[in-house]
Amino acid sequence: MTRHLITSAIPYINGIKHLGNLVGSQLPADLYARYQRARGHDVLFLCATDEHGTPAELAAAKAGQPVAEYCAEMHAVQSRIAEGFGLSFDHFGRSSSPQNHALTQHFAGVLADQGLIEEVVEQQIYSVTDGRFLPDRYIEGTCPNCGFDSARGDQCDNCTKQLDPVDLIEPRSVISGSTDLEMRDTKHLFLRQSQMKDKLDAWINTKDDWPVLTTSIARKWLHDGDGLQDRGITRDLNWGVPVKRGREDWPGMEGKVFYVWFDAPIEYIACSQEWVDAGKGNDWESWWRTDRGAADVRYTQFMGKDNVPFHTLSFPATIMGSGEPWKLVDYIKSFNYLTYDGGQFSTSRGRGVFMDQALEILPADYWRWWLLSHAPETSDAEFTWELFQSSVNKDLADVLGNFVSRITKFCRSKFGEAVPEAGSYGAAEETLIADLTARVAQYQAHMDAMEVRKSAQELRAIWAAGNEYLQAEAPWTTFKSDPDKAAAQVRLALNLIPLYAVLSAPFIPQAAEKMLTAMGAEASDWPDDVPAALTRLAPGHAFEVPEVLFAKISDENREIWAERFAGARE
């Protein structure tokens, strides 16, 4: 038994996430966690809300709420939606937790002791009216590139050009609208990542099994231009982890907080402390400290490609630089972007489907199946309503749902609601069992390798094998001349249902549970022995014909939803 530590990139607190965010980290992480649990391994699956930084303050101000109250409310919302999607976190924590405050301050202290923190004086925009320094996103103005009059201090949302606040024409404070701005000196702490470059480079070079997307991004940051740069880890903000050196005050850093990119990955560790303190588990250190048993842990991270630099370089620099025996990540599964119908998801324009909206119109498994079977692994993927409708109707309704409905209804009509006893298997049945044995082994290989799309394709082929068997052997025809042979065919087909349920549960857990319930079967161990698994429902075992597992999406609904989520036209 392997111990699997699994973390998903933590979603930002400012609003409900869209489907692209979901498939880029949390959903494939859940797929892997569910699979490893089913294989009998010990799993700790952690996620949290990322609650610090400028966007949290701005979102709270827009909502007219104190930032702490806003974050608490949005954590509850995101937690509820995650539960609706069947995300099986062992704990869903908060980066604003006391545990993360203390651990972030601890890391800052030991990094300083190792000579990896430098105090740097730099100039930053100060608002005289607001009486405070303004981080990038607290400044708006006209973009010098395209003339957009609401460009932010870090980027123009209209032309996507990266900016510095001093680039803006007629800059103003987002807080007050004041243009009474001036440049003033302010002191900040920088993590001396450049000192860790060789060690990080050597570590990355050992990861020849990582996705090319992950290592190529890491190497680009290490070697392009001037190479890995030191990076600021503090900000002049009110909301965040107060800057301390361990438990001690840090002279000259009064009123400052740690930059969100620094404290957010540390929350992975703090989240396990929260898990213990919530009474859900024990001994968090055995998962994270190699001197306390974590050396035998397999640690896997899931994230979108925009998070890769922080997880391949900055967070490892923090861990390595501390000089303490913390567990480093073993594998990083990164994803490209999911686009929406020829463009980007947009919260401000109401463009695309967001997680709460998705659950309003269809059950979670519809979305889970489409997103995972179209996961943007090797390139960006595009969501269109036509693709979604086709996949749901063909894969879920026509292949899996149709198989379960057809065989249970036929058995009920000819043999009653119990597994028939008569007859014995012949060549066709032995061929199917052999084929399924090979396919299940291939499915497991893809899942072990975290090849999400290939896993979905193999799972669909396993479902299709049952339909093809029924189509070829036609027990409804056999029954007319040889009822005993038909009984054997039905018995094997009925036993496919709990097998399909166990194999499918990582992808579509709600439907898998319905299949098991209908067949009067409990969740079972992973079917390492397929022939044995196909004798699970003994003759005489009672079952019920389930309700329709998956309803088809009509053209009318597809058109309604496409119009509803198209967003404001430009």
Parallel/antiparallel/unpaired status of strands 132-133 and 117-127: antiparallel
**Tokens standing for 338?**
């999911």
Which single residue is written with the structure tokens 């401000």? 348
What count of other Cβ atoms lies within 10 Å of the Cβ of residue 124?
A: 17
**Tokens standing for 26?**
């949390």
d(CA 332, CA 310): 12
Cross-strand bridge partners of residue 235: 257
Secondary structure (3-state) at 327: coil
Instruction: With CA atoms as reference, report the closest residue to 45 among 31, 57, 55, 59.
Output: 31
Is residue 122 within 8 A of residue 185, CB to CB? The reply is yes
Distances from the Cα of 160 to the Cαs of 153, 338, 561, in angstroms? 12, 18, 28
d(CA 199, CA 329): 15
Instruction: With CA atoms as reference, report the closest residue to 512 among 521, 500, 522, 520.
Output: 500
Distances from the Cα of 6 to the Cαs of 10, 33, 144, 332, in angstroms? 12, 7, 43, 10
How crowded is the C-beta side of 556, counted as CA atoms within 13 Å?
0
**DSSP conformation class of 533:** H
**DSSP conformation class of 306:** G
Is residue 7 within 8 A of residue 46, CB to CB? The reply is yes
DSSP H or E run through 169: strand 169-173
**Tokens standing for 369?**
């199946």
Is residue 436 within 8 A of residue 465, CB to CB? The reply is yes
Helices (H) and strands (E) counted in the chain, each on its own, are 22, 18
- Dmax (CA) for the chain in angstroms is 93
d(CA 232, CA 194): 12
The three state secondary structure string of 361-390 is HCCHHHHHHHHHHCCCCCCCEEECHHHHHH
**Tokens standing for 547?**
């309700």
Instruction: With CA atoms as reference, report the closest residue to 488 among 434, 422, 541.
Output: 422
What count of other Cβ atoms lies within 10 Å of the Cβ of residue 520?
A: 15
Instruction: With CA atoms as reference, report the closest residue to 342 among 15, 570, 26, 557.
Output: 570
Residue 411 annotated in ligand binding: no
Cross-strand bridge partners of residue 120: 188
Q: At CA 390, angle to CA 476 and CA 211, rounded to 5? A: 115
d(CA 267, CA 274): 10
Residue 71 annotated in ligand binding: no
Is residue 462 within 8 A of residue 500, CB to CB? The reply is yes
Is residue 45 within 8 A of residue 30, CB to CB? The reply is yes
Annotated binding-site positions: 143, 146, 156, 159, 347
Annotated binding-site positions for ATP: 347
Annotated binding-site positions for Zn(2+): 143, 146, 156, 159
